[in-house]
Amino acid sequence: MDGAIGAMQQRWTRVAARLRDGLPLPSAPLRALLGQLLDEPRTGAWHPTGFVVLNLADDDVGTLRLHLWPEQGREYGTPCWPVHDHVWWLRSQVLCGTVRSREYTVREESGATATLYAVHYGPEQRSSMHRSERQVVVTAAVPTTVEAGQRYTVDAGVFHASRVEPGCMAATLVATRRTGQPRPWVVGPSDGPPRVPVQRPAASTQLVRGLVERVRDSLCDLG
């Protein structure tokens, strides 16, 4: 069993490399890998902004993750502050559904209406957000609508948010590349608490398996 898991990990690592390099992802092998996930389901966790994260591979360059938005029953963090940046560069391949990606300009200047919170990660899917002295003005760019079969990238340190409309299902395959960014930031209110604990509850195996099966069956032609 361990050998089979290791072989599947290697195949996902090759998928991550192709996605990072901007190469096409042939649909038939990807569909077969998703089928193997049904045979050996992974534990998923709810991201605070309402989607399930499934870790598929982790190498010296970065990670590969499957993001899953069910139509209903999404679990959100309390509070849910969607605008954030990353310490890594990412490229996201939309496998099914539609994702709206929006970037934000965040500036420290007079007339600030929001505060930046530094994210600190802990064990067992736990993290916390700590209010900083960075008072900011946030300006939203025009959102980009990304359909199944299309991709988008987000550079490290760029503030963004991804949205899937309620009542719609979507899935993305996300490859990351680590950078020298020291920590991620989240945009919070100017009057928020000093510290906000964040938990990422486990997503049930039944939910993950059902979503992966639907993604496999609806996978569009990716090349």
Q: Residues 71-98: pLDDT tens digits?
A: 999 999 999 999 999 999 999 999 999 9
- Look at residue 123 in the predicted model and tell me its pLDDT: 80
- Look at residue 1 in the predicted model and tell me its pLDDT: 47
51, part of any domain: yes
- Look at residue 101 in the predicted model and tell me its pLDDT: 98
Residues of the chain below pLDDT 50: 1
Q: Which residues have a Cβ under 8 Å from the Cβ of 184 and sit 6 or more positions away?
A: 84, 85, 86, 87, 118, 119
34, part of any domain: yes
142, part of any domain: yes
Question: Is residue 88 within 8 Å of 42, Cβ to Cβ?
Answer: no
* CATH number of 120's domain: 2.60.120.10
Tokens read off for 74: 């999404």
- Look at residue 223 in the predicted model and tell me its pLDDT: 57
Q: Which residues have a Cβ under 8 Å from the Cβ of 200 and sit 6 or more positions away?
A: 45, 46, 47, 48, 53, 125, 126, 127
Q: Which residues have a Cβ under 8 Å from the Cβ of 110 and sit 6 or more positions away?
A: none
HSE at residue 79, side-chain half, CA atoms within 13 A, is 13
- Look at residue 126 in the predicted model and tell me its pLDDT: 81
Question: Is residue 130 within 8 Å of 118, Cβ to Cβ?
Answer: yes
DSSP string, 106-141: EE--TT--EEEEEEEE-STTEEEEEEEEEEEEEEEP
Number of domains present in the structure of the chain: 1
- Look at residue 102 in the predicted model and tell me its pLDDT: 98
223, part of any domain: no
- Which range marks the domain in which residue 10 is found? 2-218
Please state, in angstroms and rounded to a whole number, the distance separating the CA atoms of residues 216 and 29: 11
59, part of any domain: yes
User: Tokens 């025009």 correspond to what residue?
Assistant: 142
Q: Which helix (H) or strand (E) holds 5?
A: helix 2-20
